[in-house]
């Protein structure tokens, strides 16, 4: 199988594909998601991931191209990528002891067919330990992460319960991607 084009610079998405055994090449899309003007998280991930897909299809029109975008929401607002340590603290404190949804939109272009998916994973967190939170903020690992949340890292210690797939929360629903890659049918 020819490697797919992963239209993302995310090391986490690359790790998910490696672990799933899906050969890929990574390409950074030229799409500014900051111009998307919606407060609806589901619409945001659909628009952002589609914009990234279109950007990559210009360069790789005859390849299997996969794009994705992920947001975190507390049910009231989209918890975006923090721009500062203080903003990361504010965002994480909104999640501490509360329920969040991590929503990932994914588009796949395959042999002239388009497949779109929106998946969500719901987490209930216990209150974050203040010392652990300070250590995490100091580490800078929150940088570039939707909602400053890393469920496979810091936030994972505080999961009370979860409904959904961890790969969706990490930014690429590989279970759905595998189904699409194995399908011979048409997309939507």
Q: Quick one: 116 exposed, middle or buried, by C-beta within 10 A (0-12, 13-18, 19+)?
A: middle
Provide the domain count of the chain. Answer: 1
Distance CA 131, CA 153 (A): 15
Residue 34 pLDDT: 83
Q: Is residue 60 assigned to a domain?
A: yes
Instruction: Give, for all 188 residues of the chain, the pLDDT tens digit.
Output: 789 999 999 999 999 999 999 999 999 998 988 899 888 999 999 999 999 999 999 999 999 999 999 999 998 899 989 999 999 999 999 999 999 999 999 999 998 899 999 999 999 999 999 999 999 999 999 998 989 998 889 999 999 999 999 999 999 999 999 999 987 544 33
Strand 78-79 with 99-110, pairing: unpaired
CATH number where 44 lies: 3.90.950.10
Q: Is residue 75 assigned to a domain?
A: yes
CB atoms within 10 A of CB 153: 13
Q: Is residue 188 assigned to a domain?
A: no
Q: Is residue 187 assigned to a domain?
A: no
Domain extent, residue 153, equals 4-182
Strand 4-7 with 24-27, pairing: parallel
Which residues are part of the catalytic machinery?
A: 69
User: CA 111, 174, 154, 160: dihedral to nearest 10 degrees?
Assistant: 140
Give helix then strand counts, H and E, for the chain. 6, 7
Nearest to 102 by CA among 178, 177, 163: 163
Distance CA 124, CA 122 (A): 7
């Amino acid at each position: 199988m020819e490697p797919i084009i992963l239209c993302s610079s995310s090391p986490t998405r690359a790790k998910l594909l490696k672990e799933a055994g899906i050969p890929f090449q990574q390409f950074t899309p030229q799409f500014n998601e900051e111009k998307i003007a919606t407060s609806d998280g589901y619409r945001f991930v659909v628009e952002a991931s589609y914009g990234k897909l279109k950007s990559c299809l210009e360069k790789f029109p005859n390849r299997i191209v996969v794009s994705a975008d992920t947001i975190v929401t507390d049910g009231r607002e989209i918890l975006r990528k923090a721009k500062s340590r203080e903003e990361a603290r504010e965002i994480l404190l909104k999640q501490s002891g509360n329920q969040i949804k991590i929503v990932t939109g994914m588009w796949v272009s395959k042999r002239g067919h388009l497949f779109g998916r929106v998946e969500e994973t719901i987490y209930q967190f216990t209150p974050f330990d203040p010392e652990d939170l300070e250590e995490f903020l100091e580490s800078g690992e929150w940088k570039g992460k939707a909602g400053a949340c890393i469920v496979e890292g810091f936030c994972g210690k505080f999961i009370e319960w979860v409904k959904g797939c961890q790969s969706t929360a990490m930014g690429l629903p590989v279970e759905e991607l595998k189904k699409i890659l194995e399908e011979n049918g048409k997309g939507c």
